[in-house]
Homo-oligomer: A and B are copies of this chain.
């Protein structure tokens, strides 16, 4: 996607040919800054501190973290250590493990001396695949939006999204936002209700930033407001991303997704989840019991980064001093509340049978 007229991905190899550069998402929307990552520790820190975030981008960053580790030591033992360090950076997104597994599968058969170039080539392919996958998700999602548009000719299609599942969450395009960009580009009038997505405001900062840069009409709302708009017929569909989806279609996504899915269900609004198949954890069936939910720092709730009137940014306290806070980062939306899963191979029901139909070779 373009920033100030220049095409960007969210992660790329620097001109030195080995370190990588990412967009520092903790500074958006107030500043667009890139940040070099020159070691596995840099990569791990970028993931943990959410300099990079979004399930697909976390996977890509981990893949390059592994590459940088192998430059120091390409032995089997070092490969295992690097894997273990990176896979533990964040617990919920399964793409992280998936990407690292892809890397290890490619690297194990290669003698240590030959591993570094293979690793960089595999990481690059992983990024290219992510772009192609999201482009396919976009096309399949577009047909859903087109159907809605055809049922209300000349009128705007109102779409609600939660958190950021746009190109900033991926290498490019995005998952949930890819269909929206394609609909906009195809001339379908769309308007997006952007949940601000407390506590880290990925909606109000990242999604609004992306949509604004692309010229897509949107309105930022607090996370509390979506149900009200659904009650009043002002939401035609919801679409969100996911950090892990079970083999039965339960969906872990940013905290609060479950509440929007309940409201969609209560008001007959279709609720779609967009995902690359790398986000499916084929080994589990019960999202509520089996997906580990990351508990992040209470400070993300009690404090927020904002911009002062002089343009500088500062972290301010929001809450009564001394009051404790809790910060679960994700929740699980049961499959029964999901209208359909939008994957790179098409749209399917959020059921074991639905997923099996599209991914017979992996569904077991």
Contacts and interface: CB of A to CB of B under 8 A. Distances in A.
Interface string A307-342: 111000011111111111111101110000000000
A51 interface: no
B320 A306 contact: no
Interface string A205-230: 10011011000001111111111110
A198 B201 contact: no
Given A259-B259, A262-B266, A198 B224 contact: yes
A258 interface: yes
The A interface, classified by DSSP as helix, strand, loop or mixed, is mixed
Contacts of A263: 258-259, 262
B225 A323 contact: no
A255 interface: yes
B259 A326 contact: no
A133 interface: no
B321 A225 contact: no
A171 to B, nearest CB: 21
A190 interface: no
A78 interface: no
Given A225-B256, A262-B259, A231 B288 contact: yes
A270 interface: no
A301 interface: yes
A325 B219 contact: yes
17 contacts: A196-B301, A198-B223, A201-B318, A204-B319, A204-B323, A208-B319, A212-B322, A218-B323, A223-B224, A224-B331, A225-B256, A228-B328, A228-B331, A259-B260, A304-B316, A307-B316, A308-B314
Interface of A: 28-30, 194, 196-199, 201, 204-205, 208-209, 211-212, 218-229, 231-232, 254-256, 258-260, 262-263, 266, 288, 293, 301-304, 306-309, 314-328, 330-332
Of all A-B residue pairs in the complex, the 10 with the closest CB atoms, nearest first, are A306-B316, A224-B256, A29-B320, A228-B331, A208-B323, A198-B222, A204-B319, A208-B320, A262-B262, A220-B325
